[in-house]
Every structure is written in structure tokens, then in C-alpha cells.
Chain A
Amino acid sequence: GENVEQHPSTLSVQEGDSAVIKCTYSDSASNYFPWYKQELGKRPQLIIDIRSNVGEKKDQRIAVTLNKTAKHFSLHITETQPEDSAVYFCAVSGGGADGLTFGKGTHLIIQP
């Protein structure tokens, strides 16, 4: 089955700096790559996603890049703010009905 590795497990950055979280996956047939933000005690919320026919996607301060050859994708957050502090999860899917495989999460801490 699919295997998703996410790094780092904890990331501390100064407010205003950029943060980058990376994930690798094993199944070359995977074609959907979402990122989720989870605040303490709450459900994961989709913040951005990318499909395998696109190399990069941006939404304001958030961007995701995909390298299908190397089987890795990354989340980039620029100009970080205190409200960006949360746990971020990457996930992978083959695009069908059989669910998402998640990474173990990154605890992002924004230092004031």
C-alpha cells in the first residue's frame, strides 16, 4: 500500500519568516495531494491541494509544489503569522474512492 513520510515533525519559525514542510510518497499512481491544517481538538481543514498534472499551486500566502518524478511534494507558507500555528498534515490519494493516506503531521510553531 501507499506509504507517506512527512518532515519535519516539529518546525519553529519566527513570525514573518517562511515555513516549508515536505512529504514523500511511494505509489507512483497517486495523483491527488492535499494539505490539511488541524488546530487543537478540531477537525482537519483542507487548506490547499494539487493534482498530478500541475507542478505548483498558490493561494495567497500558501503554495504547494509537486515533483512526480521524485515522488515528493511540499507546503510553503510565507510571511507566517501567529494564527498559522497548528499541526499540518499532507495526504495522498489515487484519486478514486478508496480514501486518503496521511503523513504523521508537522507541528508548526510561530514564534512572536
Chain B
Amino acid sequence: SQTIHQWPATLVQPVGSPLSLECTVEGTSNPNLYWYRQAAGRGLQLLFYSVGIGQISSEVPQNLSASRPQDRQFILSSKKLLLSDSGFYLCAWSVGRGPGGGVFGSGTRLTVV
């Protein structure tokens, strides 16, 4: 069966520090991968999605970037974190022409201090 791994579960980082969050999927090939962010008490906002290695689409301009170095690996990064980057970051996946990114990882709660 397919599983999605996301780490770390929680992270506290100072303003101006770099960020790297990793997501991997097992049990499937060529998944579509997604990064969402959920601010405290708010809905989910799509940040990036990828339909293949090296292919990244960005939904909103921001302080973050994404990369897909391998088929089942999706990385969210920042060179310098801002306070406004705090939130709950969720990786998600779907396969083929399936609806976009509706199966979520367990999430990373990022607090920028």
C-alpha cells in the first residue's frame, strides 16, 4: 500500500535561518506531489506541486522554494525564514490524472521565532 512520510514533525527555527522539509512516498511510481501550508486556525493553501522529477509549479509568490530530486521525494526549502512562514506544512500526493493532492502526510509544525 502507498504511504507518505514527512519529517520532522515539529521544528522551531530562528528568523533568517534556512529550512529544509522532506517528504517521501512509498508504494507508488510517478506520483503527483504537493506542498500545502495551513496557518493557525485557517484553511490549507497550495504552495507547490510537481508532476515529475525536476518539474515544479508554484501557486503563490513567497519566500519558499521546492525541489523534486527523485521520483518519490519532494523537498520544501527556504534560504531565510520569516516570521510569516510559521504554520503547519503538509505534503500530499496523488497518482496520474487523479484529483490533485488529496492524501496528506502527517505534517510539520514550523514555528519561526
Contact = CB atoms under 8 A, between A and B. Distances in A.
Nearest to B101: A99
Given A97-B100, A101-B46, 10 more contacts: A32-B99, A42-B107, A44-B90, A93-B99, A93-B102, A97-B97, A98-B57, A99-B59, A100-B99, A100-B100
Contacts of B76: none
B106 interface: yes
Counting contact residues on chain B (CB < 8 A from A), the size range is: 20 to 34
A18 to B, nearest CB: 24
Contacts, number: 62
- Report the interface size class on chain A: 20 to 34
Contacts of B44: 44, 89, 91, 100, 102
Classify the interface of chain A: helix, strand, loop or mixed: loop
Interface of A: 6, 32, 34, 41-46, 49, 89, 91, 93, 95-105
